[in-house]
Amino acid sequence: MKKNISGGFMNHLKRICFLIILLGFTSQLFGGGQNRAGTSSAPALMIPVGSQYVAMGGANVSSVMGLESIFWNPAGVALSNNDADALFSYRQYIADMNMNFIAASGNLGFGVLGISFRNLNVGDINVTTMDQPDGTGEVLSPTYFVLGLTYANALTDRISIGASVNLVNESWGKVNASGLSFDLGVQYQNIFAIPDLSIGIAVKNLGGSMQYEGSGLWTTATDPNSDRGLTYYQVQASEFELPSTISLGVSYKRELNEENSISIASTFNNNNFSYDNYRVGAEYSFNNTLFIRGGYLFSPDAADNTPNIYEDFSAGIGINFGSISNVNINLDYAYIPVEFFDTNHSFTIRMGF
């Protein structure tokens, strides 16, 4: 029996080592992302959602669980203790924009299936020109949404995997772009036979390039090499890659006594359109009812002349109301300070059935 347990553990360890090596190799392909900052398609894919883990700086790739895992690491969707879950999250974003996130999942017996919807509300924009600086009367209402389908499964009591496929759509006036992105993740709990020591890997926003199309790209012009005069021509928009990322994280939870516990987590993020960064976060839990959270983000390669608009830290609290009419209810809040803009506030309600 001991031999079988040891052999199984070594097999799992080999798989983890392979994933780490693969992560290191792939990170080299994503190198130099800071030189392409601001040139990706669908940049709103990078806006974090879910107050619980936003408050911890997004450091929980290895221990995230529930519907918020759809953004951070889809493998965590399989770790819910409920037969079904629902979530609604609102984030007050910069420049009067806001991000809404709605998700639901159910345990099918052979895994957990989840569906999610993210919407970036930009608001109305008045069209102005040099001749009409006060507005032409035309109003643009840009839209951005991500419709996702996630499948996750706990292969053993230690290993969970997950994958998401997302339909991404952007529209601006009379032009729009759409595409598919894919997320993959794995989590390993109780690594090295140490209770509540976990590692996780997530690869997000994989997929083809996106390209704008639509009637707004048609214009009138005169071809100097033609005698046709003023003619309609279609502007060919460039293609832009998705903002892919790879994350490797580790976390540990320590039970101090029957009422108090603390969790710490750290994650390295490799980005193909921005600086790589390191994230650390912590959560204190009292009686599994009150939670106090904090996080810190560090980008060692970022130069002083290219600062992040976000401050380096985040914080938040959470309350577990327990079961109300057979529904487990949690309320979370995250505080995200921002430079040059108003502070971001995020609120999330989670329900388990």
Instruction: Provide the 10 A C-beta neighbour count for residue 54.
Output: 30
> Which stretch of 241-245, 264-268, 272-276 has the lowest confidence by average pLDDT?
272-276
pLDDT, mean of residues 199-205: 94
Place of tokens 């992105």: 181
Q: Are residues 193 and 293 in the same domain?
A: yes
pLDDT tens sequence across 157-173: 899 999 999 999 998 88
pLDDT band per the 50, 70, 90 thresholds, residue 308: low
Q: Are residues 134 and 260 in the same domain?
A: yes
Q: Are residues 65 and 82 in the same domain?
A: yes
Q: Are residues 90 and 225 in the same domain?
A: no
- Determine the pLDDT at residue 299: 80
Residue of 147, 116, 118 lying closest to 44 (CA atoms): 118
Give domain status of residue 40, yes or no.
no
- Determine the pLDDT at residue 8: 55
Give the structural domain span for 113: 2-33+50-207+242-352
**CATH (domain of 106):** 2.40.160.60
Q: Please compute Rg for the chain using Cα positions.
A: 23
pLDDT, mean of residues 137-143: 83
Domain boundary among 221, 240, 259: 240
Q: Tell me the three-class secondary structure of 103-119, residue by residue.
A: EEEEECCCCEEEEEEEE
pLDDT, mean of residues 67-90: 95
Output 198 or 28, whichever has higher pLDDT. Answer: 198
Rounded to an integer, what distance in angstroms lies between the CA atom of residue 262 and that of residue 260? 7
Q: Are residues 124 and 228 in the same domain?
A: no
pLDDT band per the 50, 70, 90 thresholds, residue 226: confident
- Determine the pLDDT at residue 41: 79
Give domain status of residue 45, yes or no.
no
Token pair for 72: 């951070």
C-alpha torsion 37→41→47→53, nearest 10: -90
Q: Are residues 321 and 178 in the same domain?
A: yes
Q: Are residues 301 and 255 in the same domain?
A: yes
Cβ atoms of 206 and 166 within 8 Å: the answer is no
pLDDT band per the 50, 70, 90 thresholds, residue 9: low
Place of tokens 């505080």: 335
Output 112 or 339, whichever has higher pLDDT. Answer: 112
C-alpha torsion 299→301→304→306, nearest 10: -80
Rounded to an integer, what distance in angstroms lies between the CA atom of residue 200 and that of residue 251? 9
Q: Are residues 331 and 194 in the same domain?
A: yes
- Determine the pLDDT at residue 5: 44
Hey, is 52 helix, strand or coil?
helix
Q: Are residues 281 and 316 in the same domain?
A: yes
Give domain status of residue 23, yes or no.
yes
Total-model pTM: 0.84
Output 33 or 239, whichever has higher pLDDT. Answer: 239
Give domain status of residue 189, yes or no.
yes
- Determine the pLDDT at residue 260: 96
Instruction: Provide the 10 A C-beta neighbour count for residue 114.
Output: 26
- Determine the pLDDT at residue 217: 79
Domain boundary among 194, 225, 240: 240
Q: What angle do CA 105, 152, 288 make, to 5 degrees?
A: 65
End-to-end CA distance of the chain: 38
Residue 241: Cβ-neighbour burial (10 angstroms; 0-12, 13-18, 19+):
middle
Q: Are residues 97 and 146 in the same domain?
A: yes
Rounded to an integer, what distance in angstroms lies between the CA atom of residue 6 and that of residue 13? 10
Cβ atoms of 137 and 124 within 8 Å: the answer is no
Give domain status of residue 319, yes or no.
yes
Give domain status of residue 42, yes or no.
no
Give domain status of residue 41, yes or no.
no
Residues whose CB is less than 8 angstroms from the CB of residue 271 and which lie 6 or more positions away in sequence, other chains included: 30, 33, 243, 244, 245, 277
Q: Are residues 263 and 119 in the same domain?
A: yes
CA quadruple 152, 178, 99, 249: dihedral positive or negative? positive
Number of domains in the chain: 2
Residue of 53, 47, 115, 44 lying closest to 348 (CA atoms): 53
pLDDT band per the 50, 70, 90 thresholds, residue 2: very low
Token pair for 14: 């080999």
Mean pLDDT of the chain: 85
pLDDT band per the 50, 70, 90 thresholds, residue 127: confident
Give domain status of residue 38, yes or no.
no
* pLDDT of 347 strictly over 90: yes
Rounded to an integer, what distance in angstroms lies between the CA atom of residue 276 and that of residue 7? 36
Q: Are residues 125 and 247 in the same domain?
A: yes
> Which stretch of 41-50, 275-284, 295-304 has the lowest confidence by average pLDDT?
295-304
Rounded to an integer, what distance in angstroms lies between the CA atom of residue 319 and that of residue 51? 12
